[in-house]
Structure 1
């Protein structure tokens, strides 16, 4: 299967997980679990892609100790795919955690829509926005 096809499949799988999370308030426990299963599926795909990439040999000058080395590592489409699936798996897992945590803390679902979008598009920013929303909107922080 081509790298481009694997990229398309990974994106579709991740998108399914995000759609599931968007509907989480309808059946939070089951839908968060479904998103986590999808996240684990992506993590397994990541492991397989990483092993395959490593078995194919390293990239000359590649490494994690310098920006130049990391750039060299990601100079091949196969390596970019591995990195992309890494992002997809982690961001989805963070989104599932935030959705579950929001339910426990009473953060309203309307506040989660931008969190989910930002976590999908810019993972750490989505996490920061969730933590801020959680601090400001959770039941435990409201005064009666």
Structure 2
């Protein structure tokens, strides 16, 4: 399996989706396209690779089935080309999903796009840290913690 090609294609696809999320109008068609064509395709790519990888149908380069019950096993799995690739696709799919939620929620609460873009970039690059930044921003608009953190 050409892990470099899979990594390059999924990475470029995700970056294109992030650019669209940050810069394009947030119409229903665009957001639906980002959800299914972005998150959905990344999740499908992940699924199409991880199931054969975990069942031993394809070799990820780690020399055997990954052991996710120990730190050493996770390190070994992620140190292989296949493990690093599926790990990265996993991040890409989930971070884009969170980015879509942040963008929709920020639009709902009236946050300007110029304020959203650095937070979306933080979600893309640092995942949970970007989400925390958005939750803190949301908290500035609401006096209740629950109102700032519960997804709506």
> Do both share a fold (TM > 0.5)?
yes
Q: How many residues align?
A: 139
Where structure 1 has 5 or more consecutive residues not aligned to the other structure, the ranges are none
Q: Give the ranges of 4+ consecutive aligned residues of structure 1 lying more than 4 Å apart after TM superposition.
A: 57-61
Tell me the residue number matched to 1:136: 140
Give TM-score, length-normalised by structure 2: 0.81
Unaligned 5+ runs, structure 2 = 148-152
Tell me, in whole angstroms, the C-alpha distance in 1 between the residues paired with 2:115 and 2:77: 38
Q: For 1:61 and 1:30, locate their aligned partners in 2 and report how far apart those are by CA, in whole Å.
A: 41
More helix, by proportion: 1
Query: Do 1:108 and 1:137's aligned partners in 2 also have CA atoms closer than 8 Å?
Result: no
Structure 2 equivalent of residue 30 of structure 1: 29
Q: What is the aligned partner in structure 1 of residue 68 from structure 2?
A: 64
Change (3 A) 1:29 1:23: farther
User: Following the alignment from structure 1 to structure 2, what is the Cα–Cα distance between the partners of residues 61 and 104?
Assistant: 45
Partner residue, 1:47: 47
1:45 and 1:70 map into 2 onto residues whose CA distance is 21
TM-score, scaled relative to structure 1:
0.86
**Greater RCO, CA 8 A, separation 6+:** 1
